[in-house]
Structure 1
Amino acid sequence: MLYDGRKSRRERSDSVLGNRFVKMILLSALFLQFGIWVRNIAVLFYVKKMTNDDAFAVSLISVAEFAPIFLFAMIGGTFADRWRPKITMVWCDLLSAGSIVAVLLAMEYGSWRAVFFVTMVSAILSQFSQPSGLKLFKQHVPEHLLQKGMSGYQTLISVFMIFGPTVGTFVYQSYGIETSIGVMGFAFLLSAAALAFMPRDRQDEGARRQAHIREDLKAGFRYVRSNRVLRRLGGSFVAVGLGLGLIQPTAVFLITERLGKPEAYLQWFLLANGAAILIGGALAMSFSGKLPAQKLLAFGIAANGLAIIAMGLATNYWIALVCQFIAGLVFPCINIGLGTLMLRNTDQSYVGRVNGILNPLFTGSMVLTMMLSGVLKNVFSLVPLYMLAGFGMLVGVLLLVPLFQLKEGYQA
């Protein structure tokens, strides 16, 4: 019996859900995703209502969500490397919840535009919280469980990609904007409570860095430039971002112009993609560890790129729908591969800054091609646009080929 007890403890230590940190971070993410989706849908519907469907006002929601990534990602990552990660995450959740009070007061006195403030504050604070979470992953999750941990997190995100809009719509239509924002605040408080049960920060966390903030920023860039894995990973971030940005805004035109279907058919396209991402996340979690992260990433990018090319060439709706499903099925491989490779090949003291450099590369590339996609569609039509997006992602695969010989835990 004593042997069996030791064996049971070893099995728990080899299980990703047997890790206390992973359980608490997933519980925190569950509350966060619930609050974020309720907020996103409520703010979208509320702004449309208050502005009579003004497209510019609706676009400002995306500005409030994405602009902080460019303005605060590197700064947030640098401070995440300086501060204690658990305390940083808890305070970010508490401040996000606290900002709800100010927003509700502003709305009470007639300033409906305060809803933009909710999105922006949350997005800014996430630039400090997210890299802190990655640091804790690096610190508390054993190397052999890292990929499974990232897979579990990706699966949770996938679930909310499918059910989040439905939940957000129900809360907003049933209770209105004030309650929706209040629900978001309560969800952030629950997230902070979950984080409080994580292991304590190490005593030396947050007390090691005496250099000026500017020196830390420069050191972060030098670190990425000197690390060949991170350099190639940055290239893959750009390739994926450029490809996805080209096709995301044009999906509705693929349905109506290329496939000759009404706009309503777009919902089935999105549903197929969301369901595939959920299935792909679960499959990636079950197979993670059997395929090196760099090969998992290359497979995901290659399959996604080929599916995009086939989608653009298709003239039959059902063939295009299958291609969309395949693209969604392999997409978790991209997220899991990127996250795992970055964590495995980054020293713990640089995790925040590396994330602050690489993440804007992806977002910036995607936003750039999203802005250009409409113009390029009018100039070249849909088929060349999808071909360009697909081949661009295949270039990202070529950047990863030299990394196929990497051993687990290797740091360049």
Structure 2
Amino acid sequence: MSNTASFFRNRFVQVIVLSGLLLQIGIWVRNFAVLLYVMEQTNGDEVAVSMISVAEFAPIFLFSFIGGAYADRWRPKRTMIWSDVLSALSIFAVLGTLMTGYWQAIFFATLVSAILSQFSQPSMLKLFKQHVPEHQMQMGMALFQTMMSIFMIIGPFLGTLVFQNFGIKVSIGVMGIAFLASAAVLTMIPADKKEHNVAKDTSIFTEMKDGFRYVMSKPVLKILGGNFAAAGLALGIIQPLTIFLVTENLGLPKESVQWLMMTNGAAMLIGGGVVIGLTKKIPPHALLVIGMIAVTISTAVTGWSTNFVLTLCSQFLAGLFLPCIHIGVNTIMLKTTEEEFIGRANGILNPLFMGMMVVTMSLAGPLKKMFSLTTAFELAAGLFFIGMLLALPLFKLNLGAANATTEPPKPAEQP
């Protein structure tokens, strides 16, 4: 059986992809519904739009390490299921609040699901390490990137369509149903390993300290931390201001932001497909650096462009190489981190990224008002370039398996 065929016959891969599809539907409907709803309620206020991103990413900064530490203690399958169930319940609670006329509750829908994702996401990485052989990890990361790319294309259209035709209440309801459906699908994941059923003797605080020591002892993870911080600062500027590229630089209606997102997503789909075909030819650290260079150029062009076609082209360039960054980073972390530390390593690196992102998200609106939209994007391009420079030492390090004496994870049960 070929490497690709055995990968797609892995039951864990099949289940986790179906769950991911359901979550992406809910998340994209939510993202665009909330964005357009807040734009309507506040008459396009920059600070209010920035606060959408803060509500989404601030909890990631605050809860990522805690969630990662508990993910290393708890059964990963059960953790993922309960995270989706609790997210759905909180979403339906928000829906009830919206019906009373308190529109600000919309931020809570994003807030709670962002918190709970900090427990489920590292659990998914642990299961991935258990059920997917090491030589298929980069292919797995590429597959997830491809799925995200598909929703970058159809997600904006789907979210805008649902909101414009049915309103915010139906949009939030769709998200809740999607999370419940994902929880149901996750019950089909192969059973947790036996060792995850054994209670931990050490305290959670001791394990947190062990996690910090582990990351600081790994040069690869420290380099990734610097790269994460620079990229987070850059994305924090871009994320809340993208819609103003459409309304100000291009002079188009706010709904036209979907065309930029769809172009970016189409390019990501192509880029992810190319990376799947090159998994054995290009090492993950090379993918990371190539991606950072391309995104630096794209961000600089996007910031000063006032031409719709040129802006679309720059978004296409960014989308084409973004999979290189995502796949490179995740593959490096999975290959160089031992299974028992994956949750905590992810929980330390993510706050670096998200924390920096939240800082610049909070400043993005005032930065635009004080200087200009173009200045903000050029600053973001400079930060991406710094991130690329910080990643260069990876070429001098051995990025082999975290523990060469450990047997590779066995594939999940085949159907």
TM-score normalised per structure 2: 0.85
Distance 1:311 1:103 in 2: 36
**Secondary structure in 2 aligned to 1:289?**
coil
2:208 equivalent to 1:202:
no
Partner of 1:22: 13
Asked if 1 retains the 8 angstrom alpha-carbon contact of 2:51 and 2:362, the reply is no
- 1:273 corresponds, among 264, 274, 281, to 264
Partner of 1:293: 284
Distance 2:379 2:43 in 1: 36
Distance 1:99 1:383 in 2: 38
Asked if 2 retains the 8 angstrom alpha-carbon contact of 1:294 and 1:404, the reply is yes
Asked if 1 retains the 8 angstrom alpha-carbon contact of 2:58 and 2:355, the reply is no
Query: CA offset at residue 46 of structure 1?
Result: 4.2
Q: Which structure would you say has the larger Rg?
A: 1
2:135 equivalent to 1:150:
no
Distance 2:50 2:389 in 1: 35
Query: CA offset at residue 133 of structure 1?
Result: 0.6
Query: CA offset at residue 354 of structure 1?
Result: 1.0
Distance 1:15 1:307 in 2: 37
- 1:80 corresponds, among 64, 71, 74, to 71
More displaced stretch, 298-307 vs 53-62: 53-62
Asked if 2 retains the 8 angstrom alpha-carbon contact of 1:83 and 1:207, the reply is no
Structure 1 372/119 Cα, relative in aligned 2: closer, same or farther at 3 Å? Answer: closer
Query: CA offset at residue 253 of structure 1?
Result: 6.5
Structure 1 54/84 Cα, relative in aligned 2: closer, same or farther at 3 Å? Answer: same
Cα offsets for 1:43-64 (capped at 9, x unmatched): 3444455566666555443332
Partner of 2:82: 91
Partner of 2:169: 178
The one-letter amino acid of 1:42's match is: A
Cα offsets for 1:143-189 (capped at 9, x unmatched): 01101101111111111122112212322333343333332222112
Cα offsets for 1:83-129 (capped at 9, x unmatched): 00011001111122233443344445554444333222211111111
**Secondary structure in 2 aligned to 1:291?**
coil
Query: CA offset at residue 275 of structure 1?
Result: 2.1
Equivalent residue pairs, number: 401
Structural RMSD (CA): 3.0
Distance 2:355 2:145 in 1: 21
- 1:233 corresponds, among 210, 224, 231, to 224
Structure 1 299/54 Cα, relative in aligned 2: closer, same or farther at 3 Å? Answer: closer
Q: Relative contact order: is structure 1 or structure 2 higher (C-alpha 8 Å, sep ≥ 6)?
A: 2
**Secondary structure in 2 aligned to 1:204?**
helix
Distance 2:37 2:374 in 1: 36
The one-letter amino acid of 1:185's match is: G
Asked if 2 retains the 8 angstrom alpha-carbon contact of 1:14 and 1:145, the reply is no
- Structure 1 gap segments, 5+ residues each: 1-9
Query: CA offset at residue 326 of structure 1?
Result: 1.2
Structure 1 369/122 Cα, relative in aligned 2: closer, same or farther at 3 Å? Answer: closer
Partner of 2:332: 341
Query: CA offset at residue 12 of structure 1?
Result: 6.1
Query: CA offset at residue 296 of structure 1?
Result: 0.8
Asked if 1 retains the 8 angstrom alpha-carbon contact of 2:123 and 2:343, the reply is yes
The one-letter amino acid of 1:119's match is: T
Distance 1:251 1:187 in 2: 27
More displaced stretch, 188-197 vs 142-151: 188-197
Query: CA offset at residue 393 of structure 1?
Result: 2.2
Partner of 1:121: 112
- Structure 2 gap segments, 5+ residues each: 404-415
The one-letter amino acid of 2:343's match is: G
The one-letter amino acid of 1:139's match is: Q
| Residue identity (%) | 54
